Amino acid sequence: MIDFIKSFNCGLDASVLVHNEFLKFLVTYDPNTGEVPNRNRYSTYNGITFSISSNATVGISGSLHKYHNEGIHNHDDFSYSKLLNVIKDLYAKFGINPKKVYLNNLEFGVNIELPYKPQILFDNLVSHKCKPFLIEQEKKMQNAWVNYENYRLKIYDKGIQYGLNYDLLRIEVKVMKMAFLSKVQIKTLWDLTDIQKLNKLKDILIYIYDEILFSDSTIDLPSLTHKEQEILKDGGNPKYWAIHKSKAGSNSSKRMRHYKTLVRKYGSYKFHRVGELIDKKVNSLLSYNEETLRVLTDFQKELDQPIVRVLTESQKGLVNSDVRVLTKFQEDKFDNYVPIGVERNTSFNNSSIVENLVSDSTNKKVCMVTGIDISMQSENSRFLSYRGINYLYKNNREQFDILLSKLPSKYTDAPFKEQVYKIAHYVRDQFFNKRNPTRRKINKLLKEPSLFNNLPLIREDSLRIANTV
């Protein structure tokens, strides 16, 4: 059911990834000067592309379904157990912790066999939510799609695409903005192992499919009443729905229901029953046994108990930013990884798992407003700043999302830099917006002529807010 995924930041250390035995990142250089430009670098394995940006952020994109088939195809059934094995393999080979991979795009759908040629369905497509389909027909591809701000519905002939000797139709939804799945609560790669959430994706897929309007070439129009003929002729024209919906006082919903009823009643193809095929197919893909459940349980335990390397005190000063929790994969590869500023013969100490290894716990410093650890910032910092917010985005996305939720909803899909800027100002405003009015009132009171000293009359908590004591 799950196919394509994309994550701009999958929480991997670029320095570790470049030494991975399964990947090969090519380096380009200027033949005249020999200079290596600071550009994004890419490497592909089994259909998944790994990217390292100019600021060393690691991203992934590609088809999990194709990955299971060594990057060759995605026309067979991709079951829940296969999906779980792919996610486990990404962890084993590359150290990708699915709980830390926040998804930016997701594609889900099914491959189904119809009781008729897929071409028949394409020929009878009318519109989706009153929007006409964009049709593309090539020698090796036949597809139709409708674009929306948050998602794209796409239908295409999988049999033609891969030259199969049987008919296979693909119906899929590509999520362009993850806010579309906010009610489903799918945010990370790990969420795709939750059967309940996958079942909600099935419901979304069926619901979106049911919003498609079809015509039906088998309907015998002359045998129908004049009104029925009129509704079917108008409804079979994609432009009709776009115009009709835009008119003030339009009863397009009522007329659309009437049109659907007539097509289902008099048509032979029964396109609406494809929704039943989708439901049946997804149910079969999401079935699992005790062995699959055991694999999932063991995998979760492994993710919750990673191996950790902690630098000694003298080494922390050299590679403060390179101290991190290591996965089992990174533990095995650690001997080949030398952080900047550390000699290859540097020794490391084993320790139990720690949540934040940015600085020594005895020097922990927190933001005056949020209470979040800001030890990664400069010594004089009092509030969570750009550097701290960037750190949260990479290492504690849940906390970042909580801060982002405090902003107006228009910033949910804003560029990342703007989000960081607004969060930083929000934090400071929480402090100063409360402090400044209080300080002004106290200063005014103290400056006003009086026979007595008013300072003892002011509450101590107000003086503290105003930074007067």
Residues 121/128, Cβ–Cβ less than 8 Å: no
Tens-digit pLDDT profile for residues 169-214:
999 999 999 999 989 999 999 999 999 999 999 999 999 999 999 9
The overall average pLDDT reported for the chain is 80
At residue 339 the predicted structure's pLDDT band, cuts being 50, 70 and 90, is very low
Tens-digit pLDDT profile for residues 343-402:
333 333 333 222 333 333 345 688 888 888 888 888 778 888 888 898 888 888 878 888
| pLDDT at 173 (0 to 100) | 97
Alpha-carbon distance of 259 to 236, in angstroms, equals 9
- Say if strands 325-326 and 2-7 run parallel, antiparallel, or are unpaired: unpaired
Average pLDDT over residues 111-137: 91
At residue 2 the predicted structure's pLDDT band, cuts being 50, 70 and 90, is very high
| pLDDT at 216 (0 to 100) | 94
Closest by CA to 155, choosing from 117, 110, 116, is 110
| pLDDT at 399 (0 to 100) | 84
Alpha-carbon distance of 437 to 159, in angstroms, equals 70
The yes-or-no verdict on residue 99 having pLDDT over 70 is yes
At residue 416 the predicted structure's pLDDT band, cuts being 50, 70 and 90, is confident
Poorest-pLDDT segment among 16-20, 22-26, 251-255, 310-314: 310-314
Q: What's the alpha-carbon Rg for the chain, to the nearest Å?
A: 29
pTM of the model: 0.66
Average pLDDT over residues 310-331: 39
At residue 325 the predicted structure's pLDDT band, cuts being 50, 70 and 90, is very low
Poorest-pLDDT segment among 17-21, 185-189, 272-276: 17-21
- Number of C-alpha atoms within 13 angstroms, CB side, residue 179? 11
The values of phi and psi at residue 2, to 5°, are: -80, 135
